[in-house]
Amino acid sequence: MTPQNITVLGATGSIGVSTLDVIRRHPDRYKAFALCAHSQVDKLFAQCLEFQPRFAVLRDAALADDLAARCRQAGLTTEVRHGMAALVELASLPEVDTVMAAIVGAAGLEPTLAAARAGKRVLLANKEVLVMAGELFMHAVRAHGATLLPVDSEHNAIFQALPADFSRGLSACGVERILLTASGGPFRDTPLTDLQQVTPEQACAHPNWVMGRKISVDSATMMNKGLEVIEARWLFDAAPAMIQVVVHPQSVIHSAVQYADGSVLAQLGNPDMRTPIAYAMAWPERIAAGVEALDLFRIGRLDFFAPDCERFRCLQLAYDALAAGGTAPAILNAANEVAVAAFLEGRLPFLGIARLNEAVLAALPAGPEGSLADVLGADAEARRMAAAMVAGARFA
């Protein structure tokens, strides 16, 4: 068996690290061809030492020069590059079989779209790609014969619970509803009046999952779940009314599908991202992921609640942006990235995240999502407006 060459976009993040762990367990099946990171030079160098990729990429030239010097000194043949053009190239080279798209935020859009246009097997962990450019991206997948497999635990669970021919239409397959589960984050039981004083450390302390700071804050505001609603709409061609968010604190049921005959099919497992990563990497086969088997006796109970959209205003804003269509989701995503960064830097209170998102979404009219330039233009304008609002202390 010739190993699959995998480009890992976001190699030093939590998804990238878990992806490399699966590769480590199956060296006969997978080869880390290119490892791409934002700025964690030490971590990327350690990965280069172990996996010896053909290419490594960092954000800017100075960081890349540092990594290249270390690789030369260690006797590695890894070629080091920098910048967006390198990411795009290494997501679409002929030698690449599979691309793990795990760059956080809007920065992952261009290389992931390039992978789709090159007809690659795309393992999608970057939900912002479909939030910002869902119609554009799905068109590229179909037009260029790419294989798209979801890595988000919820969408991976839905994919497992749907029939193999769901692309002919959910209703035609007897699907009535997608049940998108949410842990509720660290503040699911916190009164709204107590959320104003939340600190970044509290917001990043997720009760179930180990994640990066940005996605942890998104989980705390439930914006992450709102973005996943938009992602599910495009992945499964589902009408927004078919997607129901269900708060499930234990994070054991990762999502479910409700059928016309009364059946509900769910995927269960321990909260470990190596499960959906391994499923996507090996699909349609299944391979060992290093994840402990689920012990139902130890769990004992499973709870479910309706989400509180007053406490978690960001969830409703995502539905609103989806209904508005066009570039509205891209505008919301951009505003949220600015808002979360400001919160983590202590320049915006926790509840200010939702207020800022709502203000930007209301102020910028959505345009058509006709091209990548349209999407990136809306993204840039929303970021400028959000940054100006933060600087003006409108939501302090």
User: pLDDT by residue (tens digit) across 319-332?
Assistant: 999 999 999 999 99
For residues 270 and 290, is the Cβ–Cβ distance under 8 A?
A: no
221 marked as binding residue: no
219 marked as binding residue: yes
Distance CA 91, CA 70 (A): 24
Tokens of 325: 């269509």
12 marked as binding residue: yes
Tell me what the mean pLDDT of segment 184-207 comes to: 88
* Proportion of the chain in helix, strand, coil states, percent, rounded to 5: 50, 15, 35
Tell me what the mean pLDDT of segment 207-211 comes to: 71
Between residues 203 and 69, which one has the greater pLDDT?
Answer: 69
What pLDDT band is residue 104 in, cutting at 50, 70 and 90?
Answer: confident
Closest to 261 in 3D by CA, of 175, 193, 324: 175
Distance CA 291, CA 221 (A): 28
255 marked as binding residue: no
290 marked as binding residue: no
Distance CA 193, CA 329 (A): 28
For residues 237 and 169, is the Cβ–Cβ distance under 8 A?
A: yes
What pLDDT band is residue 206 in, cutting at 50, 70 and 90?
Answer: confident
**Which position has the token pair 């995502």?**
318
Beta bridge mates, 36: 9, 57
pTM, entire model:
0.93
pLDDT for 198 equals 92
In the predicted structure, residue 393 carries a pLDDT above the cut 90 = no
Which residues have C-beta within 8 Å of that of residue 150, sequence separation ≥ 6? 124, 156, 158, 159, 231, 235, 276, 280
Closest to 155 in 3D by CA, of 122, 188, 106: 122
14 marked as binding residue: yes
In the predicted structure, residue 209 carries a pLDDT above the cut 90 = no
Domains of the chain are 4-150 (3.40.50.720), 186-221+308-396 (1.10.1740.10)
For 247-266, give one letter per residue: b (16+ CB within 10 A) or e: bbbbbbbbbbbbbeeeeebb
For residues 49 and 32, is the Cβ–Cβ distance under 8 A?
A: no
Tell me what the mean pLDDT of segment 124-153 comes to: 95
Distance CA 351, CA 343 (A): 9
Tell me what the mean pLDDT of segment 258-262 comes to: 98
What pLDDT band is residue 311 in, cutting at 50, 70 and 90?
Answer: confident
152 marked as binding residue: yes
**Which position has the token pair 């760059």?**
103
337 marked as binding residue: no
pLDDT digits (tens, 9 = 90+) for 325-355: 999 999 999 999 999 999 999 999 999 999 9
Which residues have C-beta within 8 Å of that of residue 250, sequence separation ≥ 6? 208, 299, 301, 302, 303
Distance CA 135, CA 129 (A): 10
For residues 328 and 321, is the Cβ–Cβ distance under 8 A?
A: yes
128 marked as binding residue: yes
Phi first, then psi: give them for residue 322, nearest 5 degrees: -65, -40
206 marked as binding residue: yes
Beta bridge mates, 255: 267
CA 203 to chain centre: 18
263 marked as binding residue: no
Closest to 304 in 3D by CA, of 244, 236, 375: 244
310 marked as binding residue: no
Which residues have C-beta within 8 Å of that of residue 226, sequence separation ≥ 6? 314, 315, 316, 317, 318, 319
Rg, Å, the chain Cα set:
20
In the predicted structure, residue 240 carries a pLDDT above the cut 90 = yes
5 marked as binding residue: no
108 marked as binding residue: no
For residues 14 and 105, is the Cβ–Cβ distance under 8 A?
A: no
127 marked as binding residue: yes
